[in-house]
Amino acid sequence: MQITRATDYAVRVTIHLATISAATRVPVPVLASAIDAPESFVAKLMQQLVQAGLVKSRRGTGGGFQLARRAGRISLLEVVEAIEGPTHLNACIPAGPNCNRKAWCGAHPVFLKAQLALVKVLREASIARLARNSASNWKKFNHVFPANRVTRLKSPARRQRSTQPPTQPSSKLHSGLNSGRNSELGSEPRVDG
């Protein structure tokens, strides 16, 4: 079992939005660059998050996307289900006549127990906590790989080539944790809870 790329991007983008001031709207090109995803894909994804009530959008000059409510009140489960739909490990999990073996199948209680555990873990993980953890991890990562050795982004469309080996970190980690406005690569990401 594996989440889709769309869900992975949705998680990235909500974590990114949690690191930005609640009053700031972020346009799709900036979001796409921050989460390292194609703009067209991010545009469609953002509409799904808007429909789920997790993100608000505004068109026109000064428009863009922002979280619809505080990051501490958005769970990872909500983000996953906004993209994937209801979480069901197996067809027998939802109530109703979806499997004629459910009443006596030895695997059903195991699937149900796993389902309940998965939903509990995802529900308890708030986007604010994930953003704080990412920021903390970024600080540790930046300590191991100093800012002057990490590839810097010149602009969302044009990147500076790195002379570091492929195993060197990318500034994508940093850009995913910061709004990119007046921020230095070595500065600490801001996280709203």
Question: Is the model's pLDDT at 181 over the cut of 90?
Answer: no
Output the CA–CA distances (angstroms, integers) from residue 183 to 41, 70, 86, 175, 178, in the order listed.
Answer: 26, 22, 38, 10, 7
Largest CA distance in the chain: 62
Alpha-carbon gap, residue 163 to 53, rounded angstroms: 43
Q: What is the structure's pLDDT at 179?
A: 39
How do residues 134-145 score in pLDDT, each as one tens digit? 888 877 776 554
No. of helices (H) and no. of strands (E), the chain: 7, 2
pLDDT level of residue 190 (50, 70, 90 thresholds): low
| Residue 38: burial class (beta carbons within 10 Å; 0-12, 13-18, 19+) | exposed
Contact 28, 187 (CB under 8 A): no
Q: Tokens 């983008």 belong to which residue?
A: 13
- Alpha helical stretches, state H, the chain: 5-18, 28-35, 39-51, 76-84, 108-124, 127-144, 172-175
Alpha-carbon gap, residue 30 to 61, rounded angstroms: 14
Question: Is the model's pLDDT at 176 over the cut of 80?
Answer: no
Name the 3-class secondary structure at 177. Answer: coil
Interhelix angle for 76-84 vs 39-51, to 10°? 110
Higher pLDDT, 11 or 101: 11
> Among 32-36, 140-144, 171-175, where is mean pLDDT lowest?
171-175
User: Buried b / exposed e across 74-103, counting CB within 10 Å, b at 16+?
Assistant: bbbbbbbbbbeeeeebbebbeeeeeeeebe
Domains, the chain, ordered by start: 1-159+169-176 (1.10.10.10)
The tokens for 185 are: 């690569």
pTM: 0.73
